[in-house]
Structure 1
């Protein structure tokens, strides 16, 4: 008797067969391809194909290895290995497992005990509570990324290393990850975050290390790296004495009627009001005054273009 495939999923009678045959199928494909990563892709493709076939479960074990060898040879002949390597930008979990099963598997691999309730809560934390029973083969890249976050957090580690955790996420997903990182910080968990999204780094990190060509270009707390603050003004009728007064307050840059003055990290409370009063007294028409802080992106570009200061080395 043959079991029909579940809607959108793997035949129930083949799940145990797939789990037991997985190492052997990967080994067969690896001997043909010479690379385990590509062999795992072949194994997943074989399993997806058999999951929708009518092959009886009792006969599937022998055919899986044959199919893996045949498919691996096809990869070599057609050049699909290169295409797969260029097109694969994200690690993929075993597609026949559900999100809950992936989490349970990694709990076992970690050699720790995490109650099922806590595992469900972890999936809920990353926004996958309602997808816990769905097979990850149908997950989008963003959902796979969320599942990866759950895998990293489920054992409640004291240190979490995250590499581009917001990759493939929409704006809401990025905000969720940001809130999650801040929650980890409140729990006393150390997070090492690698990211090219400088705005996200500035929002959640206490200390920053800037790398340039594999070397540390600068490091320190945000206050140490960002240093002073800025005062942005839009002015009319700026005379030479007025411009000299602006320059006396800090390093001055000008673009048309827009003026930017760099201020100390902790300027005196009277610095800005006194400057504006002096400008008005000198006949300047003040249209806008905006105190601001130099962004981490601006500082990063400045460091990479000109090199770090001695304080930032």
Structure 2
């Protein structure tokens, strides 16, 4: 009986843990065959990641990194070659799971003969939503994305940015728990980007889980609790807010020359430094900046250049990609 109780406890514990995990991806691989000769391409290679309930999780990477393929795997549009994926505790192709998902593809393509309102009503009917509540939600979303004036216009008359806004409304009409957006900023002007940022913040405040890919690093940096960097199909690094704050506090100082006495003092100060030709490169925190400069001046060494990190995600991203390219 004791072992049964222990097993029951473990089962309840795991159920409790997984109830707070919206996405669980375990050692996932995806291979494709392309061309006449069936050349094998490894689009996703050994990716393991989890996204917690209520998080805003961003995926960044260069073109061809595997970001869109990974999202399609999460949506159940394609199956992994190896590995396991759990979405809201179920298989991605489970109908109960899909009814709780909202999705915006990279290049949304809708029925052009429909208006935005008709498109959203169609989605709501398929989801079995109450017609009265549907109309209220349609009005709310169209107003939020500032396209209520074009709600009855056919989609064929929409600009790319307006189609993108309509696609966002379409993805949210059934009030999903998990929202997956592939390049949601694509085609949006600065006003549209601001509206989408506000929408993501509103969804987060309501406890929704959001996963999105984007090339707009400033928006990713601002919105995300955690950020994954992908390159060549592999997940290279996962960053959190502390990583960005630490990087934001970094200062790079270039001194005109190098001396043994200076290096000894830098060791005492606890800052990182390296010799580059005849120059010295110092990496320190903002709190160490004044002491580092004073130390150099004490030894009669001129400061040639000083850079304070203002875009920490860009720096971390480029460092990660550069390391992999070497």
TM range (shorter): 0.5 to 0.7
Q: How many residues align?
A: 214
Give secondary structure in 1 for the equivalent of 2:153: coil
Give secondary structure in 2 for the equivalent of 1:279: helix
- The corresponding residue for 2:228 is 209
Distance 1:303 1:130 in 2: 44
Go from structure 1 to structure 2 and tell me whether the alpha carbon gap of 1:93 and 1:278 turns closer, same or farther (over 3 Å shift): same
- The corresponding residue for 1:112 is 129
Q: What is the aligned counterpart of 2:272 among 230, 250, 265? A: 250
- Please state how far the C-alpha of 1:90 moved relative to its aligned partner: 3.2
Instruction: Return the TM-score normalized by structure 2.
Output: 0.56
- The corresponding residue for 1:132 is 151
**Residues 243-284 of structure 1, C-alpha deviation per residue, up to 9 Å, x if partnerless?**
635686214476999x76333xxx584x22222332333335
- Please state how far the C-alpha of 1:287 moved relative to its aligned partner: 7.9
Say whether residues 1:295 and 2:316 are aligned partners. no
Give secondary structure in 2 for the equivalent of 1:192: strand
Q: Which runs of 5+ in 2 are unaligned?
A: 1-105
Greater length-normalized contact order (CA 8 Å, ≥ 6 residues apart):
2
Superposed counterparts of 1:186-197, under 5 Å: 186-197=205-216
Give secondary structure in 1 for the equivalent of 2:309: strand
Go from structure 1 to structure 2 and tell me whether the alpha carbon gap of 1:224 and 1:289 turns closer, same or farther (over 3 Å shift): closer
Whether the 8 Å CA contact 1:233–1:289 is kept in 2: the answer is: yes
Distance 1:92 1:106 in 2: 14
Whether the 8 Å CA contact 1:230–1:261 is kept in 2: the answer is: no
Go from structure 1 to structure 2 and tell me whether the alpha carbon gap of 1:185 and 1:260 turns closer, same or farther (over 3 Å shift): farther
Q: What is the aligned counterpart of 1:281 among 271, 282, 298? A: 298
Whether the 8 Å CA contact 2:142–2:148 is kept in 1: the answer is: yes
Go from structure 1 to structure 2 and tell me whether the alpha carbon gap of 1:242 and 1:175 turns closer, same or farther (over 3 Å shift): farther
Whether the 8 Å CA contact 1:159–1:189 is kept in 2: the answer is: yes
**Residues 90-138 of structure 1, C-alpha deviation per residue, up to 9 Å, x if partnerless?**
3332222221111111111222233412211101111212111211110
Say whether residues 1:179 and 2:198 are aligned partners. yes
Distance 1:180 1:261 in 2: 41
Distance 1:140 1:218 in 2: 36
Q: Which has the higher strand share?
A: 2
Instruction: Return the TM-score normalized by structure 1.
Output: 0.58
Q: Which has the larger radius of gyration?
A: 1
Give secondary structure in 2 for the equivalent of 1:127: coil
Whether the 8 Å CA contact 2:254–2:306 is kept in 1: the answer is: yes
- Please state how far the C-alpha of 1:233 moved relative to its aligned partner: 4.1
Distance 1:115 1:171 in 2: 29
Q: What is the aligned counterpart of 1:96 among 94, 97, 113? A: 113
Distance 1:254 1:171 in 2: 41
